[in-house]
């Protein structure tokens, strides 16, 4: 689409879970069954993944012993005191014939969609990061060292085996060697960056930068996927309501075409306006407003990451290719139509002084509105995908093809971006890595 879209990440212990909107979304049944099919391993199937979710969750909502756990270390709750607009949005869904569910991560994620409150990682008004839940309680263990502010620059590979990593800490270069294996968990942007800097990637691209080839894996940096949203459809409050909790507590999953096997679009309620600069330039947006993000969950557009140089400080080029496939614009157009239908429903009228944007537009003007408003949902993934074809980077046990003692455990290994915020699926990937390591080393 030719636009420059900012992409940020959590440069902090806990990564995205320390700065995100705290939504715990597991992914759809079809996602996990697709992962299992691509990996050739039933351990990634929905039924297998449910076992892990039940074990790690401490679910505070409506009991569902088939799908939810209550004794795990991850505190997860529905909104305790939902914003009135969130309550009314569920009423609007009912008004429009959209089924409303008690739990977004329950049976709704096995069917064609519906409406529900989000699951949130909030406890007593405080954010619950993955670092705080998993790692912080173990910080006093002698076999754990956490080095904040450390930049991993390269994997040390000797005769096809990963033996350690090079890092920069306090302006100095350090080498850390391993007795067992190296596990990369740097996210869908920096994991492929470090792999390529280490000579693992597309041979032609590495040669163009003078990086010695260690392992030809053309899928490193390829298959870049992300959820995109239009930021956003907005209504002005008659009397503003102060935002609280995570700023948005309800969503609706739907299909842009009835023949799809799962939802591909999502409507995300937001308690305050978050327009792009392009939309700010076109619309007068009052501060006292609320909105709904139209979001695309099954993008057909696929991008690629490329190194701009051989040095660690050289930035990586993220060629997202957002909306390059015409089908994505069509799906987002249908999503905006459904957002306007919900936002203008009778159940929400007491919260509407006027519709600010987009209002009723011609098809061409609506497409321009979408292009001006499209932005990331920060669900970058799939750039070192798990699978068995020649573009796959890791196998079902998350081991990098062609390199001994090297594993990846983050969103980059996803074969496709799931119908979910990527925090919960990334936790599952970490759990699967831990299980594979425990089995292999008989821990």
From 28, 174, 379, 397, active-site residue:
379
- What lies within 8 Å, CB to CB, of 352 at 6+ separation is 235, 236, 237, 238, 343, 344
Measure the CA–CA gap between 371 and 212, rounded to whole angstroms: 40
Enter the tokens of residue 304: 């690629």
Measure the CA–CA gap between 157 and 294, rounded to whole angstroms: 45
Query: 174: how many CB neighbours lie within 10 A of its CB?
Result: 14
379 is catalytic: yes
Report in angstroms the alpha-carbon separations of 12 from 16, 17, 132, 174, 379: 8, 9, 12, 20, 17
**Residue 439 C-alpha from the chain's centroid:** 28
Enter the tokens of residue 229: 């949203």
Mapping DSSP to helix (H, G, I), strand (E, B) and coil, where does residue 261 land? coil
Task: Match 């089995």 to its residue by tokens.
Answer: 439
Measure the CA–CA gap between 100 and 115, rounded to whole angstroms: 5
Strand partners, 375: 229
Measure the CA–CA gap between 196 and 157, rounded to whole angstroms: 13
- One-character DSSP codes across 47-60: HHHHHHHHHHEEE-
Measure the CA–CA gap between 319 and 285, rounded to whole angstroms: 30
Nearest by Cα to 178 from 201, 151, 198, 157: 157
- What lies within 8 Å, CB to CB, of 288 at 6+ separation is 236, 237, 239, 240
Measure the CA–CA gap between 278 and 438, rounded to whole angstroms: 50
Active site residues: 379
């Amino acid at each position: 689409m030719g636009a420059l879209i900012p992409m940020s990440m959590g440069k902090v212990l806990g990564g995205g879970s320390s700065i995100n909107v705290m939504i715990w979304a597991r992914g759809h049944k079809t996602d996990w069954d697709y992962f299992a099919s691509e990996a050739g391993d039933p351990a990634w199937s929905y039924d297998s993944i449910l076992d892990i979710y039940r074990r790690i969750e401490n679910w505070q909502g409506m009991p569902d012993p088939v799908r939810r756990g209550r004794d795990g270390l991850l505190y997860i709750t529905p909104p305790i005191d939902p914003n009135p607009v969130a309550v009314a949005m569920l009423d609007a869904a009912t008004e429009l014939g959209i089924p409303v569910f008690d739990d977004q991560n329950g049976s709704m994620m096995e069917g064609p969609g519906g409406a529900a409150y989000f699951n949130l990682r909030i406890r007593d008004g405080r954010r619950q990061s993955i670092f705080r839940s998993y790692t912080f309680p173990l910080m006093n263990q002698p076999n754990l060292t956490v080095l904040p502010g450390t930049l991993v620059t390269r994997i040390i590979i000797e005769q096809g085996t990963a033996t350690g990593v090079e890092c920069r800490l306090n302006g100095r270069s350090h080498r850390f060697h391993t007795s067992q294996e190296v596990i990369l968990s740097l996210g869908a942007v920096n994991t492929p960056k470090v792999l390529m800097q280490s000579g693992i990637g597309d041979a032609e691209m590495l040669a163009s930068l003078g990086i010695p080839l260690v392992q030809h894996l053309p899928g490193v940096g390829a298959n870049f996927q992300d959820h995109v949203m239009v930021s956003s459809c907005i209504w002005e409050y008659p009397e503003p309501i102060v935002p609280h909790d995570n700023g948005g507590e309800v969503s609706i999953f739907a299909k842009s075409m009835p023949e799809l096997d799962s939802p591909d679009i999502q409507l995300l309620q937001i308690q305050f306006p978050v327009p792009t600069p392009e939309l700010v330039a076109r619309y007068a947006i009052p501060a006292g407003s609320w909105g709904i993000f139209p979001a695309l969950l099954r993008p057909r557009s696929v991008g690629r990451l490329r190194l701009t140089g051989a040095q660690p400080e050289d930035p990586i080029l993220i060629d997202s290719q957002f909306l390059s496939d015409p089908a994505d614009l069509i799906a987002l157009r249908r999503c905006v139509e459904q957002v306007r239908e919900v936002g203008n429903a009778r159940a929400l009228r007491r919260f509407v002084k006027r519709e600010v944007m987009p209002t009723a537009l011609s098809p061409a003007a609506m497409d321009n509105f979408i292009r001006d408003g499209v932005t990331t949902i920060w669900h970058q993934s799939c750039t070192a995908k798990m699978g068995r074809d020649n573009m796959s980077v890791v196998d079902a046990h998350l081991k990098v093809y062609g390199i001994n003692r090297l594993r990846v455990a983050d969103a980059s290994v996803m074969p496709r971006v799931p119908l979910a915020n990527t925090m919960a699926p990334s936790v599952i990937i970490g759990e699967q890595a831990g299980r594979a390591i425990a089995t292999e080393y008989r821990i």
